[in-house]
Amino acid sequence: MDLDITPWLNMAIRWLHVIAGIAWIGSSFYFIWLDNSLRPEKGEKEKGVSGALWAVHGGGFYHKKKYLVAPDHMPDDLHWFKWEAYTTWLSGFALLALMYYWSADLYLIDRSKLDISNLQATGLGLGVLAAGWLVYDGLCKSPLRKSNALLGAIWFLVLIGFAYGLNLVFSGRGAVMHMGAIVGTAMAANVFFIIIPNQRKVVAAMLAGHAPDPALGKAAKQRSLHNNYMTLPVVLIMFSNHYPLLFGNPYNWALLAGFSICAMLIRHFFNLRHKDEVRYGYLVAGTAVFIATMLFAAFSQRGFSSASTKNEVTFSQINTLIENHCTMCHAQSPAYDGFDAPPAGLVLTSKADITANAARIYDQVVIAKIMPLGNETGMTEKERALIGQWAQSIK
């Protein structure tokens, strides 16, 4: 029996990551909706209640009330929401480490961009996660905190800077995934360092018989609102692995920016609508940005893959490229250490094999740029363009 535990571990952690993420994002969406939907109670007002709401779900009625800053006595049983966030971050980090750090040479490093060791790549990856949080937290503690719009805009520009920079040093896939990790880390750190500690301080003040400081609740609310807008781009990045069109594009940082603007505009439409402010402009603008980003992606990709030589590409040129860059792995008995069978069952040693797999080769080499794996052989953009031209010509 041949058992390689790594892919199973990868699957199990990914499964956990998605489940925890659903629970976290679900409760985040729910509470933002609830906050926006609360209305002042009619008739006799209970002390401290800032809004209430009736809802029906799962065969029963719910009556929710929000106490601002807190009720006058501590309830016996109080639910906290934190493990959803922590589990999502921990499992996400484990995945990042398992795939992009443990096998950095295969998934994170692109030697044609920057030739670094696994350890250096890991250090760089961890460094940007920490840097992201420090910048964001610094912004939130600066006078900018008074304007969510201005703070959000600056944080967004910082993130585009990160995305641009990461794409210069990491593989497209590794760069895009790190953007998800930077934002996801800031979101989880919001829960861990701000939201939960502030809530603890409020509870402690109440138990001690003092009035809690309203600034604590306000700061927590602000971070939780930021998380609500940051969620959407992160979810896109979570499954972006399936879309070489996104991470393989040379302007992947611009595409991330475009799709994030789209998501936030549409989110804003819904957040306003829950407050009974219906502004279709945001919905239309979000859709327009989506279409513009998609068109930009398509044109930049086409321009890029046809930017090759004007001359005919001969099969012998392609054959040489495949021999230099592929067959150490994609052969009946691969020479590459650690493979005893052709990966993905793909053998590229004859003209028939190569031609029959032209479309797959195009996808992996030209669009996704994930083959040669980890670009261990240092395939250049020109060589990729040549393969692109050839694959297009035999379509």
Q: Which residues contribute to the site for ligand HEC (CB under 6 A)?
A: 325-326, 328-330, 336, 343-344, 346, 357, 360-361, 364-365, 371-373, 376
Q: How far is the CB of 11 from ligand HEC (least distance, A)?
A: 13
If the CB atoms of residues 91 and 357 are measured against ligand HEC, the closer one turns out to be: 357
**Phi-psi group of 375: left, alpha or beta (phi > 0 → left; psi -120 to 50 → alpha; rest → beta):** left
At 75, list the tokens. Answer: 């309830």
Residue with tokens 């044609």: 112
Residue with tokens 């819904």: 270
Q: How far is the CB of 14 from ligand HEC (least distance, A)?
A: 14
Could you tell me the CA-to-CA distances from 64 to 52, 114, 295, 336 in Å, in that order? 5, 54, 45, 62
Q: How far is the CB of 256 from ligand HEC (least distance, A)?
A: 22
If the CB atoms of residues 147 and 320 are measured against ligand HEC, the closer one turns out to be: 320
At 109, list the tokens. Answer: 């490093």
Q: How far is the CB of 276 from ligand HEC (least distance, A)?
A: 49
Residue with tokens 């443990």: 102
CB 62 within 8 A of CB 198: no
* Interatomic CA distance for residues 144 and 255, integer angstroms: 27
Q: How far is the CB of 91 from ligand HEC (least distance, A)?
A: 21
If the CB atoms of residues 181 and 387 are measured against ligand HEC, the closer one turns out to be: 387
Could you tell me the CA-to-CA distances from 314 to 242, 323, 389 in Å, in that order? 31, 15, 10
Classify residue 344 by burial, with Cβ atoms within 10 Å: 0-12, 13-18, 19+: exposed
CB 293 within 8 A of CB 265: no
At 204, list the tokens. Answer: 């402690």
If the CB atoms of residues 195 and 318 are measured against ligand HEC, the closer one turns out to be: 318
Q: How far is the CB of 244 from ligand HEC (least distance, A)?
A: 10
Nearest to 224 by CA among 88, 17, 82, 70: 82
The residue length of the chain stands at: 395
At 67, list the tokens. Answer: 């106490």
If the CB atoms of residues 236 and 331 are measured against ligand HEC, the closer one turns out to be: 331
CB 268 within 8 A of CB 287: no
If the CB atoms of residues 207 and 341 are measured against ligand HEC, the closer one turns out to be: 341
If the CB atoms of residues 130 and 394 are measured against ligand HEC, the closer one turns out to be: 394
At 78, list the tokens. Answer: 């109080």
Q: How far is the CB of 188 from ligand HEC (least distance, A)?
A: 28
If the CB atoms of residues 85 and 348 are measured against ligand HEC, the closer one turns out to be: 348
Q: How far is the CB of 372 from ligand HEC (least distance, A)?
A: 4
